[in-house]
Structure 1
Amino acid sequence: MNQSPTAMALLYREAMSKVAAAVHVITTEGEAGRYGITLTAVASVTDSPPTLLLCINRNARIQPILRANGQLCVNVLAASQQDVAEHFAGMTSIPAHERFLQHDWQNHQHTTQPQLVGALAHLHGRIIDSHDMGSHSVFYVAIEYINVNEQDNQGLLYFQRQFTQTAVPVCEAGCV
């Protein structure tokens, strides 16, 4: 007997909660305005040319803004930036128009996209393609500028519906 679509959707969400994912804040600024969203559905497509894919719910408020602006920054969050993730996920009472006021942001010198000071990395790019798949849109982003924070910080993860952080392996004698 097959499971109902509703049961499958619930089981799928539960299964995906068992997959640890890096936490990002996607930001965009342009003629359509400035906006950001917390996202875990970010994946590398290829490094030649550097391309990412983002999966964003079709009902998300960022959708029309992102499509109109065409550019974005993927801010890879450090473990110490959980509050940023919570604000941009709408988990706090901070309204969307005040979220950028809560943290230290600067606009990239070439792309003018907002980037979070202290993030593990900033990947600036432009949307080159998108398509809808079920409840989400898949965006392909050509990366044009990259900044990697050289500080040794822990990454912020989302696992089993809660935030956690990466663990740095302890090197015992004999580690290379």
Structure 2
Amino acid sequence: MTEAHLNFSVQQSFRDAMASCAAGVHVITTDGEAGRYGITMTAVTPVTDEPPTVMLCINQKSSIIPILSANQYLCINVLSAQQQDVAEHFAGITKLSPEERFEYHIWHRGETGQLQVEGALAHLHGKVTAQHQVGTHYVFYVDIMEIKAYHSSEPALVYFRRHFGSLA
């Protein structure tokens, strides 16, 4: 076996193993001088609550990287199970353009001016304070400046084994 084949095998095994980890689904939005953009993500992890900090891991090929790096501000929209269409739009599954994705949902702005999708379970507005590259991804550290958590009986949208589902 060649080294390239072994690396592919390890990469595929890693991806398959990670697909077995259920994860909450989020849409990350950013709007500013560099433009407006949004993507669906599961690689969103709390780091600490003092100060509130979240880590995002985004593939270096993603179109949001230069926009987010320039804008610095973002909103993490924690999606409910009823918002699978939002997740699909911002994941590119529905083939809408990045601009059209914002036309299919109701948006409001938080105190930082970032777009938040109506009906989400929570909105976390923040500013990127650090970033670095690890392998094929950029890791962004986001200081959370505004938090809106809604007390809803709506289940969360999750992603498990490459399919959307719900979690009460």
- Same topology, TM > 0.5: yes
Native 8 Å contact 1:118 1:149 kept in 2: no
Counterpart in the other structure of 1:172: none
CA RMSD of aligned residues (A): 1.3
Aligned-pair identity (%): 53
- Other structure's SS at 2:37 match: strand
| 1:10-29 C-alpha deviation (Å, 9 max, x unpaired) | 00000000000000000000
Distance in 1, Cα, partners of 2:106 & 2:99: 15
Aligned to 1:39: 41
Mapping 1:97-176, distance limit 5 Å = 97-108=99-110, 110-167=111-168
Letter in 2 for 1:165: S
1:87, distance to aligned residue in structure 2 (A): 0.2
Residue 164 of structure 1 aligns to a residue in which SS? strand
Matched residue SS, 1:96: coil
Report SS of the residue matched to 1:91. Answer: coil
TM-score, length of structure 1 as denominator length: 0.92
Offset of 1:34 from its aligned partner?
A: 0.6
Question: Structure 2 CA distance, aligned partners of 1:133 and 1:94?
Answer: 30
> Partners of 1:52 and 1:18 in 2: how far apart?
22
Match of 2:119, SS state, is coil
Aligned counterpart, 1:170: none
What is the CA–CA distance in structure 1 between the aligned matches of 2:117 and 2:99, rounded to whole Å? 16
Question: Radius of gyration: which is bigger?
Answer: 1
Counterpart-to-counterpart distance in 2, 1:90 and 1:157: 17
Residue 93 of structure 1 deviates from its aligned partner by 2.2
